[in-house]
Structure 1
């Protein structure tokens, strides 16, 4: 179910234990082959598929499509808001949704740059609504073990517009993918403790813009390894993991 598609009377009749899902994404460069909306496209697609699978067992809030992307501002087209503005806005949406009596919220993130501030949002909202369950789920973290089996290429080098993200878009919106060319080498001359990607976390964080991190290519990974079949498999893993969260949240009532 989509929150914005319901009438006020229809929404009033929904079981308040029904989990709410809020997708937070980004509008930022994704190399020469993927659209600016890639992160938001991926988040919206996964929740569309979850809605298709579970129907009235979930309630999808309107997506927050622009996120925290200051580290991409060297590239044309990137949109970004401050962490403070993002935290205030997303938290306000959740506060207002919970004011209607709902008890379970899943903050569903599809942009790694949102993850830190999303943790703050979960803490703020959770502490304000002690009778509610607030879940933060980044899609790549949710299915890490499964992704490690699918991923090809050099471990530690697939964090942006590479194999995994390109595979998902090839499956979800193939017409949105432009010509795929090999990405330029990463600027790998950094400290070992600061090296990581979507599936291999950095042991300590060293701030670098995406332009600096990718030698100006905007691509961290090898998109030529991507396939629609791989994207379909990733989608299945993510939807299964989200469905498990729904079962756990509703079964615990």
Structure 2
């Protein structure tokens, strides 16, 4: 159904592949059929005036459910991480952040636990761009300490830049914009207060000097806290969002991610070599 999100289509989704909803014998049985675990990573942070603080977490979880449904019974979903690295949003009430060191250790220990239970193929589905650098560092540690496993990661929007560019989106976007808001409208519309959506800063020319410099070149990293970029904490135009645009993004991302994961599952495990277990706990 066009424009109708997954949560509206089914409220019973998840009972067969969410680890946290299983008993341990059910997990033991699922492990035999599911070589892959998806770990959703999110945040608890401001999302402008029109979206809930848990937007990143819920988008990651709902996307993970769609993947697990399509790949059933080959994938299960670990409990989501509901707080991430959100220091750049702390200028707005309600945002909760972990330090980079803490988030890195949380990711590491989740994957380590899954490894101890026999899983050797893990995918980190990251709903929050602010987690990206920490995910990269945690992944290096994990691959170093557990060389006989495969670990991969991605966000949602990063899978579909072509779909996004076809829409004629704002010059300046990236948080609580038409891209992210459209995904939320499709995946979990209850997150969105449509009457409160406002157009954020959507042109580089409207930023102050530091903000303009921070967005001057994609290859130069000069981050600014969001309360200095926009008084509402949003970049882009959330009022241009639609569930239809969200569906196009999610559908393409789902196709591309499941195609990768099917090949990921089939990939032979690497030789553990001389590894003797975790060294960086």
TM-score, scaled to structure 1: 0.90
Offset, 1:51: 2.2
1:28 aligns with 2:48: no
Superposed CA offset, 1:160-180 (max 9, x none):
001101111111222332122
| Counterpart among 204, 214, 218 of residue 220 in structure 2 | 204
Larger Rg: 2
Superposition pairs for residues 60-79 of structure 1, below 5 Å?
Answer: 60-79=77-96
Q: Tell me what 2:25 maps to.
A: 9
Aligned length: 246
- Write the deviation string for residues 87-144 of structure 1: whole angstroms up to 9, x where unpaired: 1112101001011121111011111110000001111111111011110212222222
Is this contact kept in 1: 2:199–2:238, CA < 8 A? yes
- Show structure 1 runs of 4+ deviating over 3 A: 188-194
TM (norm. structure 2) is: 0.82
Matches within 5 A, 1:62-211: 62-154=79-171, 157-178=172-193, 179=195, 180-184=197-201, 186-187=206-207, 189-190=209-210, 194-195=214-215, 202-211=218-227
Is the Cα–Cα contact under 8 Å of residues 40 and 81 in structure 2 kept in the other structure? yes
Structure-1 residue corresponding to 2:75: 58
Please report the RMSD computed on the Cα atoms of aligned residues, expressed in angstroms: 1.9
Structure 1: gaps (5+ residues):
none
Change (3 A) 1:167 1:58: same
1:37-56 map, 5 Å: 37-56=54-73
Segments of structure 2 that go 5 or more residues without pairing to the other structure are 1-16, 269-281
Q: Partner of 2:117: helix, strand, or coil?
A: coil
The structure 1 residue matched to 2:259, chosen from 228, 244, 252, is 244
Indicate yes or no: 2:249 matched with 1:229: no
Cα 1:107–1:192 shift into 2, 3 Å: same
